[in-house]
Amino acid sequence: MESWKKNKWAILIYLILGLAGFKSITGWGMRPEAPLDPAPLQVAFGQWKSKKIPISYYEKEMYGVGSLSKKMYYHGSDFIWHLNLESIRGHHTQHQPEICYTGAGWSIIKKWPAVYNNRGKKVDARVMIIKKKDEKRLVAYWFANGKLTTGNYYQRVFQHIWDDFMDNPYATWTFQRVSLPIFTDLGSAEKVIESFITEMEFKTGEGLA
* Domain hosting residue 155, numbered range: 31-199
* Cβ-contact 180, 193 below 8 angstroms: yes
Percentages (nearest 5) of helix, strand, coil residues in the chain: 30, 35, 35
- Is the CB of residue 125 less than 8 Å from the CB of residue 116? yes
Q: Identify whether 117 is part of a domain.
A: yes
Burial 58-93 (b: 16+ CB within 10 A, else e): eeeeebeebbbbbbebebeebbbbbbbbbbbbbbeb
Model confidence pLDDT, tens digit, residues 136-173: 999 999 988 777 788 988 888 887 777 776 666 555 77
Whether 25 is in a domain gets the answer no
Average pLDDT on 185-203 reads 90
| CA angle, 46 then 123 then 112, to 5° | 115
**Residue 8 domain-assigned (yes or no):** no
Q: For 22-74, write each residue's pLDDT tens digit.
A: 444 444 444 433 333 344 577 778 889 999 888 877 777 766 555 778 899 99
For residue 40, being part of any structural domain is answered with yes
**How many Å from the N-terminal Cα to the C-terminal Cα in the chain?**
48
Please provide residue 104's backbone torsions phi and psi, each rounded to the nearest 5 degrees.
Answer: -95, 5
Segment among 12-21, 65-74, 93-102 with least mean pLDDT: 12-21
pLDDT, position 188:
94
Q: C-alpha distances in angstroms, 6 versus 1, 14, 92, 196?
A: 9, 14, 36, 54
Tens-place pLDDT, residues 119-135: 888 899 999 999 999 99
User: Is 11 among the domain residues?
Assistant: no
- Classify residue 129 by its DSSP letter: E
- Number of domains forming the structure of the chain: 1
Q: Read off the pLDDT band of 115 (50, 70, 90).
A: very high
More confident residue, 202 or 10: 202
**Structural element, H or E, at residue 45:** none
Cα distances from 208 to residues 73, 201, 203, in angstroms, run: 18, 9, 11
Q: What percent of the chain has pLDDT over 70?
A: 67
**Residue 13 located in a structural domain:** no
7 located within any domain: no
In a domain, 4, yes or no: no
